[in-house]
Amino acid sequence: MASKTRLLVIFYSLKKEEKLFERPLKLYAEYIEKIHDPDIRKMHILNDLKAHCPDVEFVGGNIISDFADLAGEIKKYPDVDGVLFYILTFVFRRPWFFREEEIDVETLKKYPMIVVFDPMQFVSGLSFFEFNDLLREKRIKAIPIFSFDFNDVIKRINLIKALHKMKESKILYIGGEEVIWDHLYWSKERKSEYLKAVKDVFGTDIVTMGYDKVNEYYKRVRDEDAKALAKQWIEDAVTTIDISEDEIIRDAKMYYALKMAMQEVGADAITIDCIKALFFIGQALLPAFPCLALAQLNNEGYTAVCEADINAVITQLLMRHISGKPGFISDVTLDTSSNQAFYWHCICPTKMYGEEAPHLPYIIRKTHVGEGVALQVLAPAGQIITAAKFNVPERTLAIQRGKIIGNEHHIGCSCRTEWVAETNSKKLLEKRVYRLFGSHRVVFFGDYRDELLDIAKLIGFRVIEEDKE
């Protein structure tokens, strides 16, 4: 059962016995007293937060009047997912940079933090700017919000909720080697070190299962269940090309086998080293290709990624928690003459707008190797997309954005789904770092650049905006 996100709320304000000015103007003093009494104001804010975020447990709520006291408040609540620091008023104090020894920066770095300017008091912006210097100079994992729109606060709280969900997620890795190997990344990560990096950053567990166990589940799938699912896939398709029903039934059995495997370990995400299992050994280690199975799992609200690309799994899983949408793991080819990028692969969900959305039109056909079944999913022209990839051990994130302008099936494109996007392909060529991210990017429908930039701040990742100057 999912638990609530716990968010520590701390307010910064004058103490009641303090005055902003020794001889304030009468109207200004009444304005402060009637509207900005810190205890009254904080209750208004807390009530609004609870109304907008019923699935978040807000704890704390104390008022401090010195930045040096912030770490002490945080230490009182060790079991939280993040900190919401609301700056209500300007406070006359010697700036923190004249007394750095009083600021416990390491404690401030312990949790993701949201720092909010309270628009009900203009002068609070002065304290906000000062504290923002601290965030920037000490590289504290925080998002500063200087906005009059309360929804901007709610949006950032939703990001901390997504990070909380990452702690409760579990990834099933089917492959079973001591080394995690992505064949298009051409690099090896020692599993124990990679798993530690994922656990340190996101708190997500990764469990391993061998191919033999999947094969056991495959044998247990009932023929009538596989036939019914295969029939549904065929009926929902635009057409099928050079595919027999028996081939689709085999892939439907693989779907049920993978789902049973996920249920056994309590996983909501899965990846499989399918390249090794099907091509590199000389004898197939799996009885069917997993392409349709993974697409179906994504359609049902799980996260399913091929080719044992764990960084792509983390990317797609986190974005599912943020947006409620699956992603399309894809290779990328560029055409700098037309400022286009081509995103192509054999694994693509048909419900790219989310589990409750209708299917995109799709064609069922053989994979590019002439065996197994894959989907050619047709994307709508004009759709804005965001493509991204985390490299967890390197604490780095790549982001690019584009607009779908068509669907292609180039002779030289070996995969089935191929989307053409208008983007800054010359800049993508200049800024792409293959050593860090390999060939894959994960494509999402919608513009999520701001959300990804904010997530990077909350987890302390470097960002490469591949399409920006």
> Which strands form 362-366's sheet, in the order they lie side by side?
239-241, 362-366, 373-377
Residues in the chain: 469
Q: State whether 397 and 457 are in the same domain.
A: yes
Q: State whether 332 and 224 are in the same domain.
A: yes
Query: Strands, DSSP E only, in 13-71?
Result: 56-64
Which 8-state DSSP code applies to residue 233? H
| Predicted structure pTM score | 0.92
Single residue among 150, 167, 184 that ends a domain in this structure: 167
Q: State whether 153 and 216 are in the same domain.
A: no
pLDDT, position 438: 87
> Which strands form 56-64's sheet, in the order they lie side by side?
56-64, 5-12, 82-87, 113-117, 142-145
Residues 187, 178: Cα–Cα separation, whole Å: 14
Residues 59, 51: Cα–Cα separation, whole Å: 15
Single residue among 142, 167, 192 that ends a domain in this structure: 167
Q: State whether 79 and 218 are in the same domain.
A: no
Q: State whether 157 and 217 are in the same domain.
A: no
Are 330 and 359 a contacting pair, CB within 8 Å?
no
CATH code of the domain covering residue 199: 3.20.14
DSSP 330-342: EEEEEETTTTEEE
Residue 401: its H or E element: strand 396-407
pLDDT, position 8: 98
* Structural domain count, the chain: 2
> Is the C-alpha dihedral spanning 449, 454, 459, 462 positive or negative?
positive
pLDDT, position 179: 55
Q: State whether 404 and 417 are in the same domain.
A: yes
Q: State whether 198 and 320 are in the same domain.
A: yes
pLDDT, position 25: 43
Count Cβ atoms within 10 A of the Cβ of residue 427 and give its class: 0-12 exposed, 13-18 middle, 19 or more buried. middle
Q: State whether 249 and 154 are in the same domain.
A: no
Which 8-state DSSP code applies to residue 360? P
CATH code of the domain covering residue 112: 3.40.50.2300
Q: Quote the domain boundaries for residue 30.
A: 5-167
Q: State whether 239 and 302 are in the same domain.
A: yes
Q: How far is CA 53 from CA 50, 78, 441, in A?
A: 5, 21, 32
What average pLDDT values come out for the chain (469 residues) when binned by 10 residues?
A: 92 74 46 67 94 97 95 96 94 86 95 93 83 95 96 98 98 75 52 85 93 94 97 96 92 97 97 73 76 96 92 96 97 94 92 97 83 90 97 95 90 77 96 90 98 98 95
Residues 382, 137: Cα–Cα separation, whole Å: 40
Q: State whether 288 and 424 are in the same domain.
A: yes
pLDDT, position 85: 98
pLDDT, position 1: 64
Residues 230, 228: Cα–Cα separation, whole Å: 5
Single residue among 167, 188, 211 that ends a domain in this structure: 167
Residues 143, 153: Cα–Cα separation, whole Å: 10
Q: State whether 322 and 425 are in the same domain.
A: yes
Q: State whether 269 and 301 are in the same domain.
A: yes
pLDDT, position 6: 98
